[in-house]
Structure 1
Amino acid sequence: MGSILFLAHRMPFPPDRGDKIRGWHVLRHLARSHRVHLCAFADDRRDLRPRPELVEATASRTILWRGKGRTRAVAEALATRRPFSLTAFDAAAMRAAVRDVLAREPIEAIYVFSGQMAQYLPADTNARVVMDFVDMDSAKFAQYAGEATGPMRWLLAREARLLQAFEAKVAERADASLFVSEAEAALFRKATGAPRVRAIGNGIDTAFYDPSAAEPVCEARPLIVFTGQMDYRPNVEAVTWFAEAVLPQVRERHPGARFAIVGRAPAPTVRALAGQPGVLVTGEVPDVRGWLAAASVVVAPLRIARGVQNKVLEAMAMARPVVASSEAAEGIDHDGCLSVARAPTDFAHAISNLFADPAEASKIGARARTQVQRRYGWDAQLAPLDALLERQAA
């Protein structure tokens, strides 16, 4: 049993948001056949004390608080000509922690989860390096820049340019660079020309996300549900656009329709939506499955999305009919059991049709769950990791 150093930009347990879900399942998969030494940041005080599940899965853990503010990170980035995505996660204590693990443990492989942590790769190491970018973050900032104006446009374009150069440099060094979908991997290959790039998709725990395992927490019908981290910009923009452009059209045909925005840390813009007719903002909930079970329709109207959306897989696993933007549906092999919409009228029409025919909506949800069970088990998705982490034959 070899030893792996696992670098994560966010504590992977509990798996209660998209990046932590992938991080936890990858770590747990690696722990089955390796001793895993975790070095990670925490941005939630509750995560500073490792849960028993994480302790059991890891040989050692170093969890550091990440308290650097955005203003300081941007100032450091401008002063050092680096991307602020990196300066936000730059900490001397993390460098010391990584050096300590490498000095005391026979590390055979380093698994880097997210590009922000690639700055901690040692300059000289014989360990095999697997770089899990998950998404192409530089492309996301390029999208942001295209929608911004004034100084913010310049800052975001700068970030996209510098971050892409950094990503390409890291990929050149890594033994394998991973992305969550083939579309994302192809985009990275085209933009950087990097070698050894491949896709390893996200999975879903269909035993946990099982419609028989959760009771609906809301009796309101018809109910539209969106789930996600609600201080994350793409989610904020998605629910704002939906509440303002789509929901009024739906309520013209179905006056009793309600839109539940379910997720922790709602931004002020999101909280303000609760003042609109039919909008409910829950904040953090103990178990999102109850809201998914209550949903007549789940929506994912993201305009900026990278890779595979866990929220869509979770809703499909819960046998819910889903209406998603083309961006949110990208990379998901849904085999026709997912409605894809773009314009507000398209969203409103698809949702209204599902409301009008509950029996058909139920059939679509059942097909969605079957598709997820067949295609998106975590064991099947992560099986290629084992070969990637083996040393090349001597």
Structure 2
Amino acid sequence: MANLLYLVHRLPYPPNKGDKVRSYHLLRHLLRQHRVFLGTFIDDPDDEQHLPTLKALCPDLHVERIQPRLAKVKSLGGLLRGEALTLAYYRSAGMQRWVDKVAASHELQASVVFSSAMAPYAQSLAPEVPMLVDFVDVDSAKWTQYAPAHRWPLSSLYRREGAQLLAYERAVAAQSRRSFFVTPNETALFVSQAPECADVVQSISNGVDADFFEPDPVRVNPFASGEQAVVFTGAMDYWPNIDGVSWFVADMLPRLRAQWPRARFYIVGRSPSPQVLALAGEHVVVTGTVPDVRPYLQHASAVVAPLRVARGIQNKILEAMAMGQPVVTVPSCAEAIGATSAQGLLQADSPEAFVQALRPLMDDAAHAQALGREARQFVLAGYSWHAHLSGIDACLADAAPKALAHA
């Protein structure tokens, strides 16, 4: 059993949003064979109640609190230092002291970094402690993609962040023993921008807990009798989700209502932004945090993921498919997962195409259920967390072969 340092930019529990789903399952995978020293940040006071769960899993847990508004102000110092603002946002002397203390008190065999923002803490230990980095997505490309959707000065700031973060991502990958991205497309994108790192990057896909996300015939229907609920799930303070539901309400929902007057759009997810809250009305429900997203998925007439600005594999899509629901999404999200329309993942790249794709689901419940069964079978066959995350095991053994030989 080896000692691993695991650094995560957001408390990896509960697994209730995309990055936390992956970071939590990676933690559980590492704990199968190793002792894991976890350093992380909390940016949501509601997460404080879950600290005992993680303390029970790890021999040492260090948590730094972030107040997002103050952290954003602090990150502006990156403009003067010529660095990515993301790095300043997560810079903490307390976290660095804890990392140094763990390294001095325990013989660490490797560090595992989740998100490039946490890499500076592991870089201070390298090369004596080999570093493995889960970038998940090419975050620099995400910032660059945000720019055209915003006006100056945000557009300029986002382009700058994309360029600065890419330079940092390249430096981190070059120093890492191995780096990971969530899809082959994300890996190829990074290699195209950092060709010098081609030999140290690989893909490790997301998975889904299909035992948890499973239809249950006794699960209570949260929708009003007679309405046709079209559902979107996700953290609603996240810009790609905000953009997606705003697009759907403005351009798709009126077309849906014209053909299916009982259609109602449900935006299900934590921390809705003011822009999302403003969408609520007679035909749009913004739920905020719900105790369990599964009833909304199971009893929906249709599930959509209209994500114009998104990268990698979307957990929200895998979860809906595991719940036996076909999903209508944009081509880039469908291609990342790899399912076909016959397997319950339908593609649409325009408002008209979304309505057309939704038509058989809204008109024929039996057809939708049959596609949903195919969707669940696709997830069961290809998206096991353990099967995908086992890809890191060989990399850990390669990083510190002597120490991990008996793990």
TM-score (norm 2): 0.93
- Cα separation, 2, equivalents of 1:111 and 1:186: 22
User: Which of 133, 142, 145 lines up with 2:144 in the alignment?
Assistant: 142
The residue identity in structure 2 corresponding to 1:154 is S
The residue identity in structure 2 corresponding to 1:65 is R
Gaps of 5+ in 1: none
- Cα separation, 1, equivalents of 2:297 and 2:77: 42
Q: What does 1:238-257 align with in structure 2 at a 5 Å threshold? A: 238-257=244-263
Gaps of 5+ in 2: 403-407
Q: What does 1:334-373 align with in structure 2 at a 5 Å threshold? A: 334-336=339-341, 337=343, 338-373=345-380
Q: Secondary structure at the match of 2:277?
A: helix
- Cα separation, 2, equivalents of 1:94 and 1:52: 19
Please say if residues 316 and 365 of structure 1, whose CA atoms lie closer than 8 Å, have aligned partners that are also in contact. Answer: yes
Is 1:259–2:261 an aligned residue pair?
A: no
Q: More deviation in 25-34 or 125-134?
A: 125-134
Please say if residues 48 and 65 of structure 1, whose CA atoms lie closer than 8 Å, have aligned partners that are also in contact. Answer: no
The residue identity in structure 2 corresponding to 1:103 is A
Please say if residues 137 and 181 of structure 2, whose CA atoms lie closer than 8 Å, have aligned partners that are also in contact. Answer: yes
Please say if residues 297 and 354 of structure 1, whose CA atoms lie closer than 8 Å, have aligned partners that are also in contact. Answer: yes
Q: Secondary structure at the match of 1:323?
A: strand
User: Which of 200, 224, 229 lines up with 1:196 in the alignment?
Assistant: 200
Deviations 1:112-147 (A, max 9, x none): 000110121243432221100001000001111233
Q: What is the identity percentage for the equivalent residue pairs of Structure 1 and Structure 2?
A: 41
The residue identity in structure 1 corresponding to 2:62 is T
The residue identity in structure 2 corresponding to 1:22 is R
Q: Secondary structure at the match of 2:366?
A: helix
Matching residue of 1:101: 102
Q: What does 1:1-394 align with in structure 2 at a 5 Å threshold? A: 1-69=1-69, 71-125=72-126, 126-193=128-195, 194=197, 195-212=199-216, 214-220=219-225, 221-275=227-281, 277-336=282-341, 337=343, 338-391=345-398, 393=401
Runs of 4+ in 1 over 4 A off after TM superposition: 49-52
- Cα separation, 1, equivalents of 2:68 and 2:359: 45
How many residues are aligned here? 393
Deviations 1:172-214 (A, max 9, x none): 0001110111110110011111131101010000000001274
- Cα separation, 1, equivalents of 2:51 and 2:95: 21
Deviations 1:292-335 (A, max 9, x none): 11211100000011110000000000001210012332310213
- Cα separation, 2, equivalents of 1:34 and 1:17: 25
- Cα separation, 2, equivalents of 1:48 and 1:41: 11
The residue identity in structure 2 corresponding to 1:153 is S
Q: How large is the RMSD of aligned CA atoms in angstroms?
A: 1.5
Q: Secondary structure at the match of 1:131?
A: strand
Q: Secondary structure at the match of 1:390?
A: helix
Matching residue of 2:405: none
**Alpha-carbon distance, 1:152 to partner:** 1.8
Deviations 1:217-256 (A, max 9, x none): 2245311000000011110010011011001001100001
- Cα separation, 2, equivalents of 1:18 and 1:71: 21
TM-score (norm 1): 0.96
**Alpha-carbon distance, 1:340 to partner:** 0.5
- Cα separation, 2, equivalents of 1:74 and 1:58: 30
The residue identity in structure 1 corresponding to 2:251 is A
1:271/1:148 Cα in 2 relative to 1: closer, same or farther (>3 Å)? closer
Q: More deviation in 262-271 or 321-330?
A: 321-330
Please say if residues 298 and 321 of structure 1, whose CA atoms lie closer than 8 Å, have aligned partners that are also in contact. Answer: yes
The residue identity in structure 1 corresponding to 2:241 is N
- Cα separation, 1, equivalents of 2:349 and 2:172: 35
Please say if residues 5 and 111 of structure 2, whose CA atoms lie closer than 8 Å, have aligned partners that are also in contact. Answer: yes
Deviations 1:149-168 (A, max 9, x none): 32222211111111000000
Q: Secondary structure at the match of 1:38?
A: strand
Please say if residues 4 and 109 of structure 1, whose CA atoms lie closer than 8 Å, have aligned partners that are also in contact. Answer: yes
- Cα separation, 2, equivalents of 1:385 and 1:362: 36
- Cα separation, 2, equivalents of 1:240 and 1:297: 18
**Alpha-carbon distance, 1:391 to partner:** 3.5
Please say if residues 254 and 352 of structure 1, whose CA atoms lie closer than 8 Å, have aligned partners that are also in contact. Answer: no
Q: Secondary structure at the match of 1:107?
A: coil
- Cα separation, 2, equivalents of 1:37 and 1:264: 29
